[in-house]
Amino acid sequence: GHQIMSPINRLAPTFYKFFIEDTLMVNDKECIQLSFIPRNLYDIGFMGYLYITNDSKYQLISAKLSIPEKSNINFIDKIDFIQNYKTDSLEIDGKKQEVTYIVEDAIYAKMNFYSLKTYGYSINTYSQPIFEPYELMKEKDLKDFEITQENRLSPLTETEIKTYQLPDSLNSVTWFRVTKYLSEIFYGGYLLMGPLEIGPIDNLFSFNKVEGERYRFSGKTNYKLSRNWYVNWMLAYGTVDKKFKYELDLKYSFNSLTKNPNGFPAHFIGVKYTNNTFIPGRTIFNSNYDRISLSITDIVDYKLAFQKALTLQWMYETRKGISFNPYLTLQEVRAYGDWNFANLYGKEITGFRYDRLGINMNIVFNGKWIQRNQARVQLAGNYTSMNINYELGFGNTHLLKVKAYRKLNLNPFGYMLFWAEGGYIWGKMLSPYLFTNTTYNSIIYHQSAFNLMSTMEFFSDKYVQLFAIYNLNGILFNRIPLIRELGLREEINFKATYGGLRDENRFMIDNEFVKTFTDEPYIEVGAGFQNLFNLIGVEYIRRITYTEGLPEYKKWGIRLNLVMSF
């Protein structure tokens, strides 16, 4: 989403042009009608009218806002906002202050999603104090609860009734239902089959040199089967190794008001058993290596290991955005395929056991999101999140990792994204559990992963890492004739990491295939654009350091991504 520059922001005169058009009576008050429009009609901004009292106080009475037709906004043909304000004298901390607040707003929107057009109208009134205490209803009360005209705070108007009837009429159109179903598959990655969801689609078939063609049948249950019990399963088979792999993940959610165990606020217990292959080092984004999108790249050179693991976990999330996730993992690991874990002492290590007790703590400051099937989508706004992970290995090892994420809006000059993380390991750690950087070796560009670093290229027991991305929201392209008609949005990125490895943790490292950091950090930079055809992004990525001996095609690359946003 976007944060749009407000016409009453202190920087608004640098972005908007203002005109005094008239004086008129609004709510029995003489007001100035002040019109405004972006200085560049292609920039993301509002246009419309402000109604301000024609006295020494200049109080805001009403605002009528819309989006310029040429604005670099996707999927919106027309949108109108009407907001009415009231100013009261309130006593705050023993002092009387004048506070202006919204008493009514209305939104009209005409959406155009690749020729699929919808209309909507919403009216909200704020007669009830927003800080009034509330009580959550129990599921047994919700089953028999039906919203009618009688139990509403205020009855629906004829316009509002027609608005509620709109989704029902659209769902009666076959092509709309098909489009809606396909879009749910595109966003969630699962085939929806009533109480079951089959997927992820990208993982149902893949291939690599160890397993050959890997066929996978996986999925999960959803709230239509139960709002408390959720099951994830996976069964896979390789045509070369001729071995079945499987996983079973069972969760019990204490929050029956949500539609998945991770629904806000998450509160569940879970048990998971895994008998499956994985990549040592956990370097693939989201940990899934068996994707067809990754199989068609040079990532097929990775090494595989086989694990048998049992994980017990408890997740508790507060309404303040703080979550606690303690877990216990018992894991046996052995090398898989035609290789062994290296040993500098001349012995082959074919397998080992690593049991640990850990806790994840996540904190979100000023976060707002929409709950989707698989994850939460953060809404526009300045927010920060922090994750702390600690593990106690039963072999007297300690692992600590801290991550922080920050989104910073720079209206009207776009926004910046920052990821910073660092970690440290105490004790003698097995190589698959040393720190390795998150990579995504595919034609697909990923913001929070290294795109030109090889899988498991660097091992370390201490490291720091920084990603920075700046999206200008078209502030430059919008000023170039012809190009601005494409609605492109500029983006530049910087990614760097540095670490070290103590001698005691090199006993399983094969120096022929694995690097450790020297006296310089690993750096890659990129530049490109987003929003081609409202969907496609193109990035040029360049590797700056550790390029000696690399072929030219591994020093740079063109990456694509699909981002659907307004």
Residues 479-487 have a mean pLDDT of 91
Q: Do 408 and 539 sit in the same domain of this protein?
A: yes
Same domain assignment for residues 402 and 545:
yes
Q: What is the mean pLDDT of residues 76-90?
A: 80
Q: What percent of the chain has pLDDT over 90?
A: 42
Residue 164: enclosing H or E segment and its boundaries?
helix 158-171
Q: Read off the pLDDT of each residue in 313-338 and give the average, rounded to a whole number.
A: 91
In this structure, what DSSP letter does residue 294 have?
A: H
Does 476 or 152 have the greater pLDDT score?
476
In a domain, 338, yes or no: yes
Statement to judge: residues 131 and 187 lie in one domain: no
Is the domain of 184 the same as that of 128?
no
Of residues 525 and 292, more confidence is placed in 525
Give the model's confidence band at 225: pLDDT under 50 very low, under 70 low, under 90 confident, else very high: very high
Query: What confidence score (pLDDT) does residue 130 get?
Result: 43
Q: What's the confidence (pLDDT) of residue 357?
A: 97
Average pLDDT, rounded, for the chain: 82
Region 304-311: mean pLDDT is: 92
CA distance linking residue 419 with residue 407, whole number of Å: 9
Calpha distance 325→266 (Å, rounded)? 10
Residue 494 carries which side chain, given as an amino acid letter? Answer: F
With respect to residue 335, please indicate whether it lies within any of the assigned structural domains: yes
Question: In terms of residue numbers, what domain contains 30?
Answer: 12-135
Q: Is residue 125 part of a domain?
A: yes
For residue 378, what are its two tokens? 């953060």
pLDDT band, residue 100 (cuts 50/70/90): confident
In-domain check, residue 340: yes
pLDDT of residue 258: 85
Confidence (pLDDT) at 131: 42
Most confident residue range from 155-164, 194-203, 343-352: 194-203
> In the prediction, which pLDDT does 1 show?
58
**Predicted local distance difference test score (pLDDT) of residue 479:** 92
Q: Same domain, yes or no, for 115 and 256? A: no
Query: 139-148, 188-197, 386-395 — which is least confidently predicted?
Result: 139-148
Angle, CA of 41, 47 and 48, to the nearest 5°: 150
pLDDT tens per residue across span 417-440: 999 999 999 999 887 788 989 888
CA distance 383 to 371: 17
How is residue 364 written in tokens?
Answer: 């979100």
Answer yes or no: is 282 within a domain. Answer: yes
Rounded to 10°, the helix 174-188/158-171 angle is: 80
Position 101, amino acid: Y
pLDDT bucket at 286, cuts 50 / 70 / 90: very low
Query: Do 184 and 126 share a structural domain?
Result: no
Same domain, yes or no: 120 and 188: no
Q: Which amino acid is at 354?
A: Y
Are the CB atoms for 530 and 489 separated by under 8 Å?
yes
Residue 152 covered by a domain: no
Would the pLDDT of 147 be above 60?
no
What are φ and ψ of residue 396, in 5° steps?
A: 65, 45
Pair (222, 97) in one structural domain: no
276 compared with 89, residue with greater pLDDT: 276
- The CATH number for 545's domain is 2.40.160.50
Does residue 7 lie within any of the structural domains?
no
Give pLDDT, residue 164. Answer: 55
pLDDT of residue 167: 55
What pLDDT score was predicted for residue 344?
47
473 within some domain: yes
Q: How many domains does the chain have?
A: 2
pLDDT at 56: 87
pLDDT at 372 over 60: yes
539: nearest Cα among 482, 498, 494, 477: 494
One domain for residues 229 and 295: yes
Which residues lie below 8 Å from residue 47, measured CB to CB, with a gap of 6+? 35, 36, 37, 38, 65, 66, 67, 68
Please give the residue that has the higher pLDDT: either 182 or 384: 384
Q: DSSP labels for 202-226?
A: GGSEEEETTTEEEEEEEEEE-TTT-
Report whether pLDDT(545) > 90.
Answer: yes
28-32, 70-74, 331-335, 556-560: lowest mean pLDDT where? 70-74
pLDDT in tens, 245-261: 999 999 999 998 888 89
- pLDDT of 322 reads 93
Residue burial 68-92, b: 16+ Cβ < 10 Å; e: rest: beebbbbeeeebebbbbbeeeeeee
Q: Are residues 261 and 365 in the same domain?
A: yes
Residue 96: pLDDT band (50, 70, 90) is: confident
545 and 481 within one domain: yes
Same domain, 393 and 454: yes
